[in-house]
Structure 1
C-alpha cells in the first residue's frame, strides 16, 4: 500500500505538470490574440471585409497579419484552430481536482467544523456547483443583459462574490479558493468549447457553402472572449492560492478572493488599454496596490487560521493513531515539525504555519500521515534544510509506522 501512496503522488505530479504546460499554452495564446486584436490598425489598402492589420517583428522575421471581422471572401486552404489548449487545460485541471481534492476529500475538501458531511456529499456538491455556475453564467450571457457589457460584468462579479462566500461556508478555505478557480476555468473553457468554436464552425460552413456568414456569430464569440480575457489573471492566482494560507485560511477569505478578481480585472484593463493604443492608465496600478494592501490587512483581522481538526477522525486516521509506533512518531513530529506547523509558530519571523498545516495534536498528525511519510520519511523535503536535525533513524520510524499500517499492521 505504501508503494501505492508513492505512485499516487507521482501521478498527481504528472497531472499537475501537464496542467501547467497546457495552461501556459492556453493563456499565452489568449494574451497574444487579445493584444493582437486590440492593436489592429486601419489601412487604405485593406481588402474588402478586412477589419484591420498589424505588422510585428519576432525571431528575426516580420509578420503581416490581417483580421476579417466576419470572414474572408473565400475559405483559406489551411486554417489553424486554437482550441485544444483550452480543452487540455480543463481536462487536466479536473483530473487534478479529482486526484487531490476528491480522493483526499476528508482532508482537503470537507471540514466538519465548517460543514459536517461525508466526503461523498462534499464531492457531489463540488461537481454540482461547478456545473450550476456555468449554467447560470451562460443564461446571463444569453439574456437581454448581453446588450450592456458593463452591467453584465458587474452582475457576473456579484455572482463570483456570492460563490466565494458560499464555498467558504461549506469547504475548507483551501478548497474554497480552488473551486472558485475551477469555476472560473470552467466558464472560460466552456466559452471556447460551447460558444466560440461552434460559432466559428458555423461561419466556416457558410463560407464553404458559398453563403455570406451572419455577423452575429462573431459578436457572440467576441463577448465570451472578452470575459475570458478579464478572467485569466484571477484564475492564475486562485490556482496557486493553496501555497498561501494567509489568503485562503483566514476569516475574511471570501472577501480576499473577491478583491483578487478586482485586482486581476484592473491589471488587464491597463494592458488592454496599452495594446489598444489608448494611453497608459497608470492609476490601475495604484488601485491594484491599494486593493492588495487591503487584502494583507484583512488576512490579519482577526488572525484566525482555519485548521484541519475534525469533530471525529475518519476511520483511517483512527487506525493511524492506534498503529504501532504512533507514539514515537508523534513525539518526533512534535519535536521536529510543530515549532513551525502550529497555530502560533515558534520560529522567528514566521507568523503562520506553512500552507496552513498544523501538527500539534494526534488528530492533526494522523490526518497528515501520508504527507508526513512522503515529505519527512521517504524524502528529506521536511524539515527544510533539516533545520531541526531530524535523524535518519527518526525518518525510518516514520516510514515503519506508515508502511506498517498501510500493510495492515
Structure 2
C-alpha cells in the first residue's frame, strides 16, 4: 500500500509537470501569433492576396513574415499546423484532473458540508459539466446572437459567472476553481479541434482543388480565436489558484472568480492595443489593480456584505485559553482535525507522507506552522480538504483568534 501511494504521488507530479510544459507551448504560440497578427503592416508591393507583413529580429537573425487572409496563389510544400499544443494541453490537464481530483475525490473533489455526494456522482457531474459547457457555448456561437461578437462575449461572461456559482455549490472551493479553469480550457481547446483547424482544412482543400474558398470559414475561426485570446489569462489564474486558499476557499469565491475574468479582459486589452500600435492604455492596469484589491477585500468576508461579525463568539473556555495564551485548545483542534495526514506516519489511506512535509504533531511543529494553519484552516476553508474531518466553525474561529491575539499580536 505504501508503494502504491508513492507511485500515485509521482504520477500526480508527472502529469502536472507535463500539463505545465504543454500549456507553456500552447500559450506561448498563442500569444506570439496574436501579437504578430495585431502588428501586421500593410505596405505597397505586397504579393497578391497578402494582408500584411512584419519584420522581426530574434536569436541573431531576421524574419520576414507575411499573412494571407485566405491563402497564397500556390500552396507551399510544407505547412506547419499549430494544433498539437492545444490538444496536448487539454489531454494532460484532463489526466491531471483524473489523477488528482477523481482519484482523490474524497479529499479534493467532495465537500460534504456543501453537498453530500458519492465519488462516482461527483465525477459524473464533473464530466457532464465540461461536455455540456462546450455544447452550450457552441450553440450560442452558431445562433443568430453569434453574429454580434461583443454581445456574444457578454453572454458568455454571464454563463461563466453562473458556472462559477454552480461549481461552488457542488464541489470543494479548490475543485470549483479548478473546474472553472477546465470548463474554460475545454471551450478553448474544442474551438481549435472542432472549428478553427477544420475550417482551415476546408480552405486548404478548396485551394488544392482549384476552388475559391468561402471567406466565412476564416470569419468564424477568427471569432473563436478572439474568445480564446480573452480567456487565456483567467485559465492560468484558476490553475494556479489551488495554492492560494484565500482565493478559492472563502465565502465569496464565486464572485472572486467573476472578477478574475474581468482582470483577464483588462490585461489582454492592454497587450492587444499595444501590439496593434494603437497606443498604450495604461488605465487598464489601474483597473486591474482596483479589481484585485476588491478581490483581496472579498476574501476576508467583510461584515458589510455578510451582516455578521468576522469573528463570532468563542465559548468561554476557548476565550479563556486565548486570553491567557494557553495552547491546549488549539493543540486539541489541530491534532484532532489535521494530524492524521500531517504526521511523520500519516494514518489517512492513500497518503504516504505528510503533504508538503508539514507535520503538526508536536507543540513546536504547530507553532512553526501557525501562519499556514491560520490561512488554510482559519481564514479559509481550504483545510482539511473537503472538510473531511468535519472541523467546526467554532474551531476555525478559535484558530483565527489564537493566531491574531497570541501569535501575530506578539
Q: TM-score, normalised by structure 2?
A: 0.79
Pairs within 5 Å for 1:35-184: 35-184=35-184
SS at match of 2:51: strand
Q: Specify whether residues 39 and 129 from structure 1 end up closer, same or farther in structure 2 by C-alpha distance, changes over 3 A only.
A: same
Deviation at residue 207 of structure 1 after TM alignment:
1.0
What corresponds to 2:186 in structure 1?
Answer: 186
Deviations 1:262-308 (A, max 9, x none): 0011100000000001111111000000000000000002469xxxx
Q: Indicate if the aligned counterparts of 1:340 and 1:353 stay in contact, CA closer than 8 A.
A: no
Pairs within 5 Å for 1:8-407: 8-302=8-302, 320=347, 333=361, 335=363, 337-339=365-367, 346-347=370-371, 351-353=374-376, 356-358=382-384, 363=389
SS at match of 2:251: coil
Provide the C-alpha distance between the structure 2 equivalents of 1:252 and 1:224, rounded to a whole number of angstroms: 30
Deviations 1:194-213 (A, max 9, x none): 00000000011111111111
Deviation at residue 335 of structure 1 after TM alignment:
3.5
SS at match of 2:300: coil
Aligned length: 341
Provide the C-alpha distance between the structure 2 equivalents of 1:332 and 1:198, rounded to a whole number of angstroms: 54
What corresponds to 2:353 in structure 1?
Answer: none
Q: Indicate if the aligned counterparts of 2:181 and 2:235 stay in contact, CA closer than 8 A.
A: yes
User: Which sits farther off after the overlay, 106-115 or 350-359?
Assistant: 350-359
Q: Indicate if the aligned counterparts of 2:360 and 2:366 stay in contact, CA closer than 8 A.
A: no
Provide the C-alpha distance between the structure 1 equivalents of 2:17 and 2:360, rounded to a whole number of angstroms: 32
SS at match of 1:66: strand
Deviation at residue 358 of structure 1 after TM alignment:
4.3
Unpaired segments of 5 or more residues in structure 2?
303-309, 312-335, 341-345, 350-358, 392-410
Deviation at residue 333 of structure 1 after TM alignment:
2.4
Unpaired segments of 5 or more residues in structure 1?
314-318, 323-330, 366-409
Provide the C-alpha distance between the structure 2 equivalents of 1:261 and 1:188, rounded to a whole number of angstroms: 14
SS at match of 2:361: helix
Deviation at residue 74 of structure 1 after TM alignment:
1.3
SS at match of 2:120: helix
Deviation at residue 182 of structure 1 after TM alignment:
0.2
Deviation at residue 362 of structure 1 after TM alignment:
9.6
Deviations 1:307-363 (A, max 9, x none): xx99xx9xxxxx9589xxxxxxxx96263554477xxxx44x97412893349x993
Provide the C-alpha distance between the structure 2 equivalents of 1:102 and 1:335, rounded to a whole number of angstroms: 34
Deviations 1:205-261 (A, max 9, x none): 111111111111111100011111111110000001000000000000000011001
Deviation at residue 98 of structure 1 after TM alignment:
0.2
* Runs of 4+ with >3 A deviation: 319-322, 334-341
SS at match of 1:48: coil
Q: Indicate if the aligned counterparts of 1:130 and 1:186 stay in contact, CA closer than 8 A.
A: yes
Q: TM-score, normalised by structure 1?
A: 0.79
SS at match of 1:160: helix
